[in-house]
Structure 1
């Protein structure tokens, strides 16, 4: 066996044949302390076979330690891997782990296992939480000479809340006690684990000093690893960042456990919540340079163009546009049975998701107080944004003193912003928690309102794979619950209820307009859109209008929209008034009265006359020159023709010329010229006009 790094002096070779170990370069904690320039980019790994670039497809998983302070977690990791994960001077001096440590080994079946070693002191539970968020299997370390201790229980609770499904107990320091004591401790452990995910798990007495039980422990790890569920390589790429540092000549490097998806050299990535962008220059898995990293691997990512000061532990690396940070999350919440007190509505807590910690308020949706051991739906109001996906697990700790009290599952990482009744919120969340894939997709469409949601966006909101989302949309479309936008749904999807409501709103607004303005052809498109829900984007509005037009429910002519049944026709009295108004304007030549002056001269009802007048303008019988100056269309055509004829013999025209040409005062000559400028017949040069072209 080839081993790099020192092994415990009392152990010659506790590992069975086929087990490989390796040394990882110096690490830099995610918290304070000096920046390390030790190269994670140049260190080679002994025993790393295959990796991402290997010919055989290997399984990858993350093993985490858990347990009380001074129960031998770090010593055990060193005995198993040859890697001392305590690197800080303070850790060496105090003999306790303060920061996360990392090691790795290759199991006999080729599984590449990254190991996250967490601190056990109660002051560093926050750090422990940053390390165990992505583990697949836990080794709960309990010292035989002390047995179950407070952080044993708290770490176990945390693993339970995070839904870790596989694990075992390493009963360390077994060489310090006799068999009778050992059996008593085993019985106590069995009682502690009863009813938990570790109920009935292997409990392996061992000693990192003598090597006793280490082969059996590794065999138990192998057995548990064989049944552990692999992370989704086709899922939404996410790497919660637990360390950030800089390497001379390479720049900023972040590390973390790749929770889902895959990451390749050259990929553009985003760092949330700030949305800093970079492109992957170099990747390492367990210290070996690779072209691609996949879910389940401890990964170091070299990010050029970003400063260390721009990134911190708790940030999330993902592909641009796939996740949207939010200050509100809808979720389930279970309060631990041994929580010290009930949780009151709107209590301030410490919210832990991935490697991040945020302060948050817990809004209970169906009660004012949550009792220990109870579960409910909640809305989490974060004091700073966080990016999540449905089914993410989180943990909450009391604000002060900081004690783990509960946790739950994120159901909606981007809930609707509009105010919702609590009853509707609970109904919505119940479907997201318990409903089928199709029911959940339908809920997301409803929550999106009048904004079409693409398949990729639905994947991000539901964390379902592309095939499942596509099948759900087909089912919803077939039963009339979803409407695809565009010929092939390329514009996304809307819930049919939202489409029906939108169509109803459009028809109602047009009906109101026609009742108020019966003689007008229709309502301008933009004016109509302004009367509809503010969420409505122009593309969706255009799509709905086209849909209504195809169904022959509305008609669109030029820029006007009307009900298909609307025909602006004049009554006999209105036709008579129209003829009188037209006669007045035709006879007025180029010096017409104002509309109100015309109405007064005809002794017409002003409201009726205004409606008829607007209709005449819409029909082109009258042409607006400026406010209160209108010409009959015959006079208007004559105006244009005379000016164009003038330019046939003269290069310029001015106000005086206009007065002479049309026998009018400046009151009309100036507006005529300004109008001709607007319609691009003339162009102003100083006090004169020249032909536009």
Structure 2
């Protein structure tokens, strides 16, 4: 079933709330102050059942100029607007401001409702109707039908309902696939249940038990219960007015303007790249760095406008700009926004978000403007190519879709079209993507870093993987970094070992002097049989520098010339094998061996006998039983 949200707009006291009550039987003025003053201050919500049986949510917004920010919080999620104009007064200041807002938000589906027709005669009604049609020329509602009604007598209400029914059929439904986005317009607490938030579900769906994230704070919560128009449901879909009962979150941790989202699907930012229009009706130009009020979704944020190609924006002009917010916000590519002057507060412009996570741009740069033009109007291929070329990272298809605002199917096709420009890195779960030129640059840089490392440490196997990641690829997770290394090895940039990587041409070679030192170290360890000197004793005896000695030690361990059996205790590999063979043979004949027997068998000391047995325990060649050892599972493999 299609889910549509209808919103009202219009000047204060033009009969919006009375109209909704006549259509639905519900008074959306819920606050005591609203009842006393006879005007809507906050947003009102209800549901309308149409003659066809279809249902639509209704958002009743305040018309008083002091509450325009509340109006903006409700109008962002609507699909169809009822622009309400009182027949006895005609077009008034907030009528104009509300229409400006509808124009800036591009709410194209609408019906103009002339209310209070019971207060005027036919001639006056005709004059007002003509005035309204003239007023709407050149706007998004230029072709909207105009319906005269009376909430008192009921005149025109059946015709209005038929028009709404038809408009609902013609209205495009919001997308229920993709990530959850629900801009929050109300937050309150229910005794026994805790925090409840409401809003219009812009995309995706939400189900009982789902884990959700409150942005931009990043708070995680779980959905305890759901309601759509007062009815408990197990799932809500895009286009529905939804109330969400959240667990683990206090009321004071959430506010209007926050967004309920799929975890990790939105990234908070202080900067938005935008296409900005200054309304032709405003009285003065907008200066670079001017402070404004930005209305995005249900949020109101203070910020400054950075004009990228001029010092002042004249009324009626449209340009690329950057909004620098005083607080973090979350947005999606293509989101519409409105700006109002800081003081006095009046609607002066708005536009479209081009990049919701924009870097700071230098002004008066043609390449910056060209890039923004591509982001705004480019083909899927151009958008994917531009994004990947300008980014250091590995991205999933889902992340590319979120960054470019494109559907996943279009991203997938664009990647296929850009086969020569996009490097695909397979993983166990999903492919990762990077621009081919970025990938090639990475490969050359990693290879060069490895070669420099080899020159500095010629005895080492290669550059440590984790050190390479932290220095060069901190933006890539440890797991994805391993997939990247596999790809770089396959393409011949590097050779990958268990913990290191090396240049494909690298071979560890000792100089004549180094070979002499290594031979002397191995001979000393061999001569010591199964009771050789400790490594530190040997280093001192041979007068080696600590750094040099450490390089030799790691080299000999990696080559397998030495075996480490304990702290600062090493055996020549050949002597180790001899000792292991003697212990295994003894156990085959006597079934068990003690530390003292091991010491005597190997003609060594307890200092070496016990660590050697513990080493063999770890290798499962022996197994400890009480104070003795017996044969372990791996003993049969010892020849």
1:73 is displaced (CA, Å) by 1.6
The answer to whether 1:529 aligns with 2:463 is: no
Partners in 1 of 2:221 and 2:458 — Cα distance? 55
Partners in 2 of 1:116 and 1:334 — Cα distance? 26
Residues 617, 292 of structure 1: alpha-carbon distance in 2 compared, 3 angstrom cutoff = closer
Unaligned ranges ≥5, structure 1: 1-56, 664-668, 683-689
Alignment-derived partner of residue 44 in structure 2: 101
Alignment-derived partner of residue 137 in structure 1: 80
TM-score by length of 1: 0.75
Alignment-derived partner of residue 360 in structure 1: 303
1:148 is displaced (CA, Å) by 1.9
Worse-matched range after superposition: 214-223 or 560-569: 214-223
| 1:152-191 to 2 correspondences below 5 Å | 152-191=95-134
Given that residues 223 and 244 in structure 2 are in contact (C-alpha distance below 8 angstroms), is that contact kept between their aligned partners in structure 1?
A: no
Alignment-derived partner of residue 454 in structure 1: 396
1:61 is displaced (CA, Å) by 1.6
Q: What SS does structure 1 have at the residue aligned with 2:83?
A: strand
Given that residues 459 and 552 in structure 2 are in contact (C-alpha distance below 8 angstroms), is that contact kept between their aligned partners in structure 1?
A: yes
Partners in 2 of 1:620 and 1:268 — Cα distance? 51
Partners in 2 of 1:381 and 1:581 — Cα distance? 65
1:327 is displaced (CA, Å) by 3.5
1:643 is displaced (CA, Å) by 11
Alignment-derived partner of residue 401 in structure 1: 344
Q: What SS does structure 1 have at the residue aligned with 2:415?
A: helix
Q: What SS does structure 2 have at the residue aligned with 1:332?
A: strand
Q: What SS does structure 1 have at the residue aligned with 2:427?
A: coil
Alignment-derived partner of residue 637 in structure 2: none
Aligned length in residues: 611
Q: CA RMSD in A?
A: 4.1
Q: Deviations over 1:413-470 (max 9, x none)?
A: 3346xx66565654443332112233333444445522x3223333433444343333
Worse-matched range after superposition: 147-156 or 337-346: 337-346
1:266 is displaced (CA, Å) by 4.3
Partners in 2 of 1:353 and 1:583 — Cα distance? 76
Alignment-derived partner of residue 411 in structure 2: 469
Alignment-derived partner of residue 383 in structure 2: 440
Q: Which residue, 275, 281, 288 being the options, matches 1:338?
A: 281
Given that residues 308 and 362 in structure 2 are in contact (C-alpha distance below 8 angstroms), is that contact kept between their aligned partners in structure 1?
A: no
1:115 is displaced (CA, Å) by 2.0
The answer to whether 1:544 aligns with 2:484 is: yes
Q: What SS does structure 2 have at the residue aligned with 1:263?
A: strand
Pick 1 or 2: higher relative contact order, CA cutoff 8 A, min separation 6.
Answer: 1
The answer to whether 1:242 aligns with 2:185 is: yes
Unaligned ranges ≥5, structure 2: 619-626, 631-639
Q: Deviations over 1:642-664 (max 9, x none)?
A: 999999999668xxx99xx879x
| 1:28-177 to 2 correspondences below 5 Å | 57=1, 59-177=2-120
Residues 676, 78 of structure 1: alpha-carbon distance in 2 compared, 3 angstrom cutoff = same
Residues 641, 342 of structure 1: alpha-carbon distance in 2 compared, 3 angstrom cutoff = farther
Residues 304, 547 of structure 1: alpha-carbon distance in 2 compared, 3 angstrom cutoff = closer
| 1:412-451 to 2 correspondences below 5 Å | 412-415=355-358, 423=365, 425-446=368-389, 448-450=391-393
Q: What SS does structure 2 have at the residue aligned with 1:531?
A: helix
1:145 is displaced (CA, Å) by 2.9
1:123 is displaced (CA, Å) by 0.5
1:380 is displaced (CA, Å) by 3.0
Q: Which residue, 499, 522, 532 being the options, matches 1:559?
A: 499
| 1:232-631 to 2 correspondences below 5 Å | 232-248=175-191, 250-274=193-217, 275-285=219-229, 287-303=230-246, 306-415=249-358, 423=365, 425-446=368-389, 448-450=391-393, 452-476=394-418, 478-486=419-427, 490-570=430-510, 575=515, 579=519, 590=532, 595=539, 598=542, 618-621=558-561
Given that residues 384 and 404 in structure 2 are in contact (C-alpha distance below 8 angstroms), is that contact kept between their aligned partners in structure 1?
A: yes
Partners in 1 of 2:609 and 2:312 — Cα distance? 76
Partners in 2 of 1:236 and 1:532 — Cα distance? 32
Partners in 2 of 1:636 and 1:436 — Cα distance? 67
Residues 536, 259 of structure 1: alpha-carbon distance in 2 compared, 3 angstrom cutoff = closer
Q: Deviations over 1:202-246 (max 9, x none)?
A: 233333334443344344434433322222222433222222334
Partners in 2 of 1:520 and 1:314 — Cα distance? 56
